[in-house]
Structure formats: C-alpha cells, structure tokens
Amino acid sequence: MTSETSSKSNNFIKDYISKVRKENPSKQVVTRFPPEPNGYLHIGHAKSICLNFGLAEEFGGRCHLRFDDTNPVTEDPEYVESIKKDIQWLGFGWGEHLYHASDYFDQLHDYAVQLIKKGYAFVDDCSADEIKKMRGSLTEQGQNSPYRDRTPEENLELFQKMREGAFKDGEKVLRAKIDMTSPNMNLRDPLLYRIRHTSHDRTGDKWCIYPLYDFAHGLSDEIEAITFSICTLEFEDHRPLYDWFLEVLETPNRPQQIEFAKLNLDHIITSKRRLLRLVEEKYVTGWDDPRMPTISGLRRRGVTPASIRKFAETVGVTKKNSVISLSTLEHAVREDLDENAPRAMAVLDPIKIVIENYPEEKVEELTGQRHPKKEDWGSRKIPFTREIYIDREDFLEEAPKSFFRLKPDGKVRLRYGYVIHCHEVKKNTAGEVVELRCTYDERTKGGVTPEGEKKVKGIIHWVSATHGLPAEIRVYDRLFTVPNPSADKEKDFVEFINPESLIVKKGFVEASLKGIEAGKNFQFERLGFFFSDLKEHTPSNLIFNRTVTLKDTWAKVATKD
C-alpha cells in the first residue's frame, strides 16, 4: 500500500501531503535539505534527510540539496564534501538539483530592493546593541528605530552605498519594516542584510553585504519553487515572517513551511559546538570516530544505511518533542545485521587450550554456515588443530553449577567441533590462567552425543591457534555514561565520557577471514557485530570495530540498578 492510499501513519507530514495530493493531484512534492556547511552531519540530520528525500521519492517529486552558505565566516569545503558523501551513502540523490543559497545573492538583493521600494524595508544606523535594546522582550513592546521613517529613495541610496562598501562592518543594517509591537519577536523589524567585509568561498569579494537566515532561507525556497519546506520546531515562530516575505513581495511561488520535532537521542549529543569540542580537544580521534553520532562515525562503526533509514521510519515524525532511547537505533542496527552479516568466529581475550590427545600435525577442516538462515551463502572451512584459543570469559576456575562453559574437570562443546574435557589449569607466577590442558572426544564431532552419555549443554566459540589470524579488535561502547550529559549545568559534559567507550583487544579471528577487505560487516558468533575498519584495516593488518553487541546489554545494567 503506498502512502497515497493508506490512512494514518506515524508521520504526520506524509499524511498531510497525501491529503493535499488527494484534493489536488497535480500538486508537486518539491522538498529540500538545507545544511549549513559548518560541521559534519549527525544522526538528527539523517532523520531530516530521510524525511525530505523520502517524501520526494514516495510522491514522485524531487528533493534539492541546498547549502545554506549565507554566512561567509564559518564555512569549510571539507564539510561540503562530507555532507554530499553522507547523503549519498544513506542512499539518496539530488540529481541535478544541487544549489547554494549564495547562487541567489543577486535575486535576494533584488527582493530587498523591492521591499525598500514598497516601503517595507529601511536602512538603520543603530548599532547591534541599540537594536537589541529597542527590540523589547516577550513582556515589553519594542521601540521604533529613529531611522525607520526614511523615504524609500533615501533607503535605496543608502543600501546601494552599503553594497558598494562605503560603510564599515556593523555601521548600518537593512531591516524589514513590520511591527515593533508585535507579540512575535520575529516580526519586530527583523534584520535582512548586514555588512561583512569578508570574502565568500563561492562569490569571492563580489559582496560585502550578506543576507540573514530568515530572509535568505524562505526566499531561496521560493526561488527554487519548493512546495513543502520542512524544518524543525524552533522555526514555528518564524513562520509568520516566512509567509510575510512571500506575501508582500507577491512572489509567484508559495512554499509552505511545516515544522516537526527534532530527533533527540539519549546517551549522545548532537550540538555541533559540543561535537567540535570532542574533536578539537581530542576526546575522540576525529569527526568519524566510531563513537561519534555523526553519519561518518556511524558508518565507520559499521552501522548500515538501511538500518538508519529503518530507524528514521520507526521513530516517525511528530510535532511533540521527545527523547528516543539509543537502544531503538541499536535495535534497528542489530535487526539489519542479523539478516545481512555473515558469521565468523573470533576470540577477543585469548587463553590457549592444548588438546593433548589430538595429533600435533593434524589439521581437520570443519564446516560452518556463513549464515544460519541463508543456505545460498554457502559454508566456510574452519581448521581444527591441537592448539586453539577460547575467550577468557568462557572459563571459570570456581564456577557455580549454572555455569555451562568450561571449568576444571568440566566439559564444553566447541562450536562446529568436538566436546572437550579440561584436565589441568596452568597459571603464571601472578596466578593468572595461561593455558588449559584438555582432551577431546572423537565421537562428538559436529554435535553428536554418544549413546549413554549426557548431553553437553554449553557451546563456546574458538579459533585455531596455529591457523587463526591476529587481529586488533576495538570494542566500542556508548560515549557517555548518562542519558543526558548536558543536563547538569554545573558540570562539563565531557565529565560524563564513558572511560570504557573504547577498549582495544589483541585477539584472533578464524582463518576464513584471510584477505578480508575494509568495510565488511560480520557477526562474530556469541560476541556481537563487527566491521573491518574503513580507515586503518588492511587485508594484512586486520582491525575490526564492534558495531553493537548481540543483545541490549545496557538494558540489563539499567534493570540491575
């Protein structure tokens, strides 16, 4: 069922557009994603991307990518490239509709001139401080600027001089002339242009006056003939201004602004300023550190585009602010990887096992499925040898009855292989277990329980010590220990960084992973989902990042407390 026919969904904007299209089938769906190129995109932006590009796709329209580059000071081409890459990685495209707000500087200037001519804009000589003081507050009306009654002719001349560079930064501004008594602060003669003697990446030194956001944004939508201008809730109070520009300029296009609630997730932060601090002060290794909530960080962690899209769909689009649990995202990631990641075995904290009754030179090839539900993915060969590694966690010297893994004089089954029996525990001088001496039961190969014997309940993963490949395994966890690291105003959010958000292990992976390339997802059986690192992994230097655990371990922690 397409959204054109369905009734209510968890996306009120989709429902609204469906309704509009029912009443007016020729209404085009033209949306835009308008990032400011002053940082890397994060999971919140991903939601907006999925929404804008998704609606266009769904209703056979189009979505423009428009860089909102009206502020010449903070932008950086590195950000522009990363933004394009992230959108494409998520699976969306803008086709030929790549724009920049700076493409419209001439047209926006014309619109400003029209406003002046119509008596709807004036040049103000007041300083930024004076303007702020005269703006009033929510409980107090604003005051008219003493320059408000300049004639259109005088304003045109002054605006022209502003443009020609006759004045210094801050000496004059162009303001709309609306209503200083309006209860909506945005309508109290908002600023339209300010003087900035700064060159711009794309327009160079052509301009020394730059338009302000509210003016540039809405009218850029108008110029591009956007039909649905979707933005976050904080712009709700700006909508009357958005519409005012369209009305007084009698523009041919009338885009409609619709606001939705931002995506907020617990255990992460999305403020660009704070993310920049994490990078600059080296709490993380960069914007693409796998612990960052940036799209590039999630990608390097091993999160798939499909799971982000699924997540965005699951959380829906509403007008009510809420905080979504990070587990919801992790759940979407797990579901996708469970379906799509091949299986392999790895040992993160190796203890060596010597199987005394297994011949030294013998190598047997055991067989494992690549995916338990996908026959067509085939199988993998797993060499079994006299010396193997198991994970330290799977052995307990003083084990309770309920411990079904390996213990002294106990038995456990090796995945795809034999039942082994532990006879001897070897320790170093510090008392740490360094080796286990075991024997295997030849009759138990591939899950067989010999007649008359008790079934061995525990099954553990393992890697051949002679054939396994050394690998660095980066066990990532949540970056913050508390749901909202910025909540406590007395404390700096970096105090809540999880000291265990990255633990580096020197482990081993099964031989079938030989030559594996960067950027591959796996499930390491019993351990979680892992991803060969996009930046540092090579086929001869294996580095895997833990994407997510197999189960929600944080939920367990929370119920224990």
- Tell me the two tokens of residue 55: 């609606």
User: Minimum distance between the CB of residue 226 and ligand ATP, rounded to whole angstroms?
Assistant: 12
Q: Contact between 318 and ligand ATP (CB under 6 A)?
A: no
Give the x/- contact pattern for ligand ATP in 215-244, rule: CB under 6 A: ----------------xx------------
| Cα 137–chain centre separation | 37
Determine contact, residues 95/32, Cβ cutoff 8 Å: no
**Range 181-220, binding ligand ATP (CB under 6 A):** none
Report the residue number, 35 or 528, with the smaller CB distance to ligand ATP.
Answer: 35
**Binding-site member from 21, 30, 40, 45 for ligand ATP (CB under 6 A):** 45
User: Minimum distance between the CB of residue 171 and ligand ATP, rounded to whole angstroms?
Assistant: 27
Q: Contact between 368 and ligand ATP (CB under 6 A)?
A: no
Q: Contact between 447 and ligand ATP (CB under 6 A)?
A: no
Q: Contact between 484 and ligand ATP (CB under 6 A)?
A: no
Q: Contact between 545 and ligand ATP (CB under 6 A)?
A: no
Q: Contact between 274 and ligand ATP (CB under 6 A)?
A: no
Report the residue number, 31 or 521, with the smaller CB distance to ligand ATP.
Answer: 31
Residue type, 259: E
Whole-number Å distance between alpha carbons of 248 and 258: 20
- Tell me the two tokens of residue 22: 């029912």
Report the residue number, 34 or 528, with the smaller CB distance to ligand ATP.
Answer: 34
Q: Contact between 54 and ligand ATP (CB under 6 A)?
A: no
**Binding-site member from 14, 21, 34, 326 for ligand ATP (CB under 6 A):** 34
Q: How many residues bind ligand ATP (CB under 6 A)?
A: 14
Report the residue number, 232 or 439, with the smaller CB distance to ligand ATP.
Answer: 232
Cβ atoms within 10 Å of 350's Cβ, excluding its own = 21
Q: Contact between 263 and ligand ATP (CB under 6 A)?
A: yes
Report the residue number, 294 or 327, with the smaller CB distance to ligand ATP.
Answer: 294
**Binding-site member from 270, 285, 325, 486 for ligand ATP (CB under 6 A):** 270
| Contacts by residues 148-152 (CB-CB < 8 Å, ≥ 24 positions apart) | 148/122, 148/124, 148/177, 148/189, 149/122, 150/122, 150/123, 152/116, 152/117, 152/118, 152/119
Q: Contact between 13 and ligand ATP (CB under 6 A)?
A: no
- How is 229-264 classified by DSSP, letter by letter? EEEEGGGGGGHHHHHHHHHHTT-S---EEEEEPPPE
Whole-number Å distance between alpha carbons of 57 and 96: 15
Whole-number Å distance between alpha carbons of 267 and 273: 17
Q: Contact between 326 and ligand ATP (CB under 6 A)?
A: no
Q: Contact between 84 and ligand ATP (CB under 6 A)?
A: no
Cβ atoms within 10 Å of 263's Cβ, excluding its own = 24
Find all residues with CB under 8 Å of 431, minimum gap 6, and list them.
none
Chain position carrying tokens 């209510």:
8
- Tell me the two tokens of residue 459: 């099954």
Q: Which residues bind ligand ATP (CB under 6 A)?
A: 34-36, 38, 44-45, 47-48, 231-232, 262-263, 270, 272
